[in-house]
C-alpha cells in the first residue's frame, strides 16, 4: 500500500502538467501558423532571389563570365562554328597559336602559327582593311 501511495504521489505532478497542456493546446493553435503577412514576405523574398539570379546570369553573359579568369598556359583567342557540332578554335600556347578543329569525340590540329607568322597576318589584315575601306569609298562616290 505504501508503494501504491508513493507511486500515486510521484505521478500526480505529471497528471497536472498534462492537464495544463491540454487546456493550453487550443489557445496555441487558435492563430493560423501561416498568415497572409508571412506568405507575402516569402513571396517577396522569392521574387528578390529570382531577380538576383537572373541579373547575375545576364551580367556574366554580357561581360564574358569567367572565361579569362585563370592565367593558364592555354588561352582561347577565338572560335567560329563550322556546323551544328563542329567548331574551329584559335588557341594561344605561349608564343604559338594553334588552329584546332573540334568535333564530337575528336580534336585535330589544323594549323600552327609561330609568333612571327601571326604578327605578319595581323599586319596583312590591317592592310586588307585599308584596301576595303578605299574600295568602299570609291563605290560610294
Summarize pLDDT for 19-30 with one digit per residue, the tens: 555 555 555 556
pLDDT of residue 20: 52
Is residue 98 a contact partner of residue 90, using CB atoms and an 8 Å limit?
Answer: yes
For residue 95, the model assigns a pLDDT of 80
Q: Residue 100, exposed/middle/buried by CB under 10 A (0-12, 13-18, 19+)?
A: middle
Q: What is the pLDDT of residue 79?
A: 86
Any residues with CB less than 8 A from the CB of 82 and at least 6 apart, and which? Answer: 88, 101
Q: What is the pLDDT of residue 37?
A: 82
Answer yes or no: is pLDDT of 10 > 90: no
Structure confidence by residue, pLDDT tens digits, 54-108: 999 988 888 875 555 556 788 888 888 888 889 898 888 888 888 899 999 999 9
CB neighbours of residue 130 within 10 Å: 10
pLDDT band at 16 (very low <50, low <70, confident <90, very high): low
At residue 34, the pLDDT reads 73
The pLDDT of residue 65 is 58
Q: Is the pLDDT of residue 3 over 90?
A: no
Amino acid at each position: 500500500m505504501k508503494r501504491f501511495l508513493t507511486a500515486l504521489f510521484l505521478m500526480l505532478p505529471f497528471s497536472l502538467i498534462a492537464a495544463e497542456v491540454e487546456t493550453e493546446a487550443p489557445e496555441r493553435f487558435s492563430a493560423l501558423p501561416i498568415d497572409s503577412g508571412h506568405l507575402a514576405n516569402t513571396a517577396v523574398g522569392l521574387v528578390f532571389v529570382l531577380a538576383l539570379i537572373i541579373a547575375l546570369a545576364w551580367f556574366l553573359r554580357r561581360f564574358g563570365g569567367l572565361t579569362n579568369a585563370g592565367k593558364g598556359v592555354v588561352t582561347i583567342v577565338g572560335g567560329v562554328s563550322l556546323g551544328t557540332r563542329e567548331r574551329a578554335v584559335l588557341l594561344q600556347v605561349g608564343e604559338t597559336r594553334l588552329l584546332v578543329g573540334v568535333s564530337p569525340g575528336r580534336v585535330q590540329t589544323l594549323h600552327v602559327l609561330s609568333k612571327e607568322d601571326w604578327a605578319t597576318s595581323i599586319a596583312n589584315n590591317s592592310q586588307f582593311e585599308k584596301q576595303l575601306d578605299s574600295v568602299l569609298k570609291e563605290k560610294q562616290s
